[in-house]
Amino acid sequence: MKKLGFVIVLTMVILSKLLSYDSNADELKIEQESDTYSKETILNGFDVSKDFCSSKENTLWVDDGSKNYCIKFYPFGLSDQNDTVAIFFHGDLLGRDWDNKGNTIKHIVLSYHDNDIKQINSYVKDMYGITKLPYIYYARLGTLGSSGDHKKRHTLSEVKTTQEALNKIKEKYYIRKFILIGQSGGGLLVASLLTQRDDIIFAAISSGLLSVKDRIRIMKWPKHSTGFDFYDPIDHVNEISPNKDLKIFIIGDPKDKNVPFKSQEAYYKALKEHGLNAFLIKAGGRGKSHHGLSREAEQISSWWVNGVPIEDILSAFKKKTDSEILKYDLFGEPNVFCEVIQEPNPLLIGGWKCRGGKWKNPVEYWLVKKNNQYAIYYYYSEYSGEHQYLGWRPFKINGDEISSKNGIIKFFTKKNEVYFQYGEFKPWKMTQIKNK
């Protein structure tokens, strides 16, 4: 699902102000005190010592065969022994401008305002609540606390490092099976892991970089977008061990301007030819490039975990829906419930939607009653669609009004209508969601 609870969508908007790239930069300091990681570390890369790595929480010292890296991960819900664990791999955080020969002009930091670790920790907590599985957000090389050079993404080195990191996570937490979710460049890593492991039972890859050579050909580029040699998943499909229990979902938008859908479709066809349980889903990507689809991958994985039949998952994307929140999102038990001061006005129960606030951003909620407790499934998206918040939220119910803990978000009834209000902005009338 898309950034459930404070979804991180990790394929993001280009910054209006770019930072310069210094190929001779010294090791950079990680801003541990502020719980963020700077744009400079993304541009220049950084190394740390083994002692430094071991002193930090949720880190792994990993060897790719030629170099050591400190890999950071953000878990929630892990115990000493775990049957199944879900891991999310984010998209690329760098882009590159080049000349007509493919030589680098400059590297570009893609929007890095999601480097707030509190938001990432909130995300994995929400995903744990929705999937009822221990959940991990994996920081790729050179990002979000993992050492290395993110300019050298999509390489065999990144593939080897990720494989070894999963081995160490599995060994440390006694994990039996994995569910993997990957967006864009993170999807390349998920595809690479499928060729090397027999403990993956489910994979959802959204807007995935799955056939690099097809992308280069379709985009008419002189070379790969990074300028470096690359690992190409489509060349390794035959290395995936046949496994009747493994399910692979490929999610893409035919309008994707970043990674062409035809390249994802080619990978899907290769999976099917290899006899694998693969499924192709067309969905509407967010942002100007129609590339943001991590929410759909998270959504599909959570539905599957909660027992939604595959045919129902497929059909959910074949028909137009009245809302972003679908009935399968409401499966299972909420991980948080509402504080009830007074029973809600019956009009507030069910699903409501609008485009409200100064920027006319889409807002939806579903108020349900489960086990004699009220719970709200809430959806909000910034107008660009790059940032979305989705999941069970701890609202307060007081008769005719539902409000967030800080009081900024309110849903209320007036003259037999339901309204949404954000802060001091004028209230916006909501319409009832028809589909369930």
Complete DSSP assignment for 182-241: EETHHHHHHHHHHTT-S-EEEEEEES----HHHHHHHHT-SS-TTSS----GGGGGGGSP
Say how far apart CA 60 and CA 55 lie, in whole Å: 10
Query: Residue 24: its pLDDT value, please?
Result: 33
Last residue of a domain, one of 291, 319, 347: 319
Question: pLDDT truncated to tens, each residue of the chain (436 aa)?
Answer: 434 443 333 333 322 332 333 333 334 344 333 344 777 778 888 899 999 999 999 999 999 888 999 999 999 999 999 999 999 999 998 887 777 777 777 778 776 555 578 888 888 988 898 888 999 999 999 998 899 998 889 999 999 999 999 999 999 999 999 999 999 999 999 999 999 999 999 999 999 999 999 999 998 888 888 878 889 999 999 999 988 899 999 999 999 999 999 999 999 999 999 999 999 999 988 888 899 899 899 989 999 998 999 999 999 888 767 788 877 888 767 888 999 999 999 999 999 999 855 557 889 999 999 889 999 999 887 655 556 677 889 999 999 999 998 999 999 999 999 999 988 888 999 999 976 5
Query: Residue 385: its pLDDT value, please?
Result: 52
Query: Residue 173: its pLDDT value, please?
Result: 97
Structure tokens at 90: 């984010």
Sequence length of the chain is: 436
Q: Are 202 and 342 members of one domain? A: no
Say how far apart CA 378 and CA 157 lie, in whole Å: 40
Return the SS3 of 52.
helix
**Residue partners of 132: CB distance under 8 A and separation at least 6:** 305, 306, 332, 333
Distances (CA, A) of 126 to 6, 109, 274, 336, 338: 8, 27, 35, 9, 15
Last residue of a domain, one of 286, 319, 352: 319
Q: Are 301 and 360 members of one domain? A: no
Q: Is residue 2 part of a domain?
A: no
Query: Residue 131: its pLDDT value, please?
Result: 87
Q: Are 184 and 292 in contact (CB under 8 A)?
A: no
Q: Is residue 18 part of a domain?
A: no
Q: Are 164 and 186 members of one domain? A: yes
Q: Is residue 7 part of a domain?
A: no
Q: Are 99 and 221 members of one domain? A: yes
Query: Residue 227: its pLDDT value, please?
Result: 79
Say how far apart CA 352 and CA 420 lie, in whole Å: 9
Say how far apart CA 379 and CA 318 lie, in whole Å: 21
Q: Are 264 and 302 members of one domain? A: yes
Return the SS3 of 430.
coil
Residue 358: give its domain's CATH number: 2.40.128
Say how far apart CA 421 and CA 214 lie, in whole Å: 47
Q: Are 214 and 305 members of one domain? A: yes
Nearest to 202 by CA among 87, 79, 330, 328: 87
Q: Are 235 and 365 members of one domain? A: no
Structure tokens at 292: 């943001």
Q: Which amino acid is at 408?
A: I
Domain containing 388: what range?
A: 329-432
Structure tokens at 360: 């006319």
Q: Are 41 and 178 members of one domain? A: yes
Q: Is residue 406 part of a domain?
A: yes
Q: Are 254 and 388 members of one domain? A: no
Question: Could you give the maximum distance between any two Cα atoms of the chain, in Å?
Answer: 69
Say how far apart CA 270 and CA 375 lie, in whole Å: 43
Last residue of a domain, one of 293, 319, 345: 319
